[in-house]
Amino acid sequence: MRYLFKEGGFMPDPYWTAMLSIGIIVVAITFLAAVFLLIYSFIQIKRAATALTDFLAATDSKLNPLLKEAEETLKSIRAVSDDIGSATSNIRNISGALSNIALQVRIFGLLTEGLQNLLSDRITGLKAGIKAALDVLLNKEKKGGE
């Protein structure tokens, strides 16, 4: 750096003084721009945080009824499932009862058939006995009525 000597002291060169002044002004403007940029960034971050908070609140208010409805739907599905299980159990019971009834009807049919055969044999025997008795009576009357 060059200095000019004057009476009573020395003074820096005007070129360097101008350069230092411009440098200080540039630094001051840069500092002010950085401060402005930081303030602007903080404001934008605050706006974004507010918007995010509002969005989350709106989403929460929309999701709560949906979650409650989903819970009710699951309860209804569970109730229907239980009812279907109960109906299936009842159908099994009815099916078992119908199987027992069918078995009883078969047994009753076999008993009826056996009873028919037995009665048929007895009726045939009774008819044969009555016929024989009538033949004997008719033969006696023909012979003289003893």
- Would you kindly state where each structural domain of the chain is located, as residue ranges? 9-143
- Name 11's bridge partners: 4
Distance from chain centroid for Cα 144: 101
pTM above 0.85, yes or no: no
b/e for 50-87, b at 16 or more Cβ within 10 A? eeeeeeeeeeeeeeeeeeeeeeeeeeeeeeeeeeeeee
Start-to-end CA span in the chain (Å): 184
Q: In tens digits, what is the pLDDT along the chain, a chain of 146 residues?
A: 455 555 555 556 777 788 889 999 999 999 999 999 999 999 999 999 999 999 999 998 888 888 899 999 999 999 999 889 888 988 999 998 999 999 999 998 899 988 888 888 888 888 888 888 888 888 877 776 55
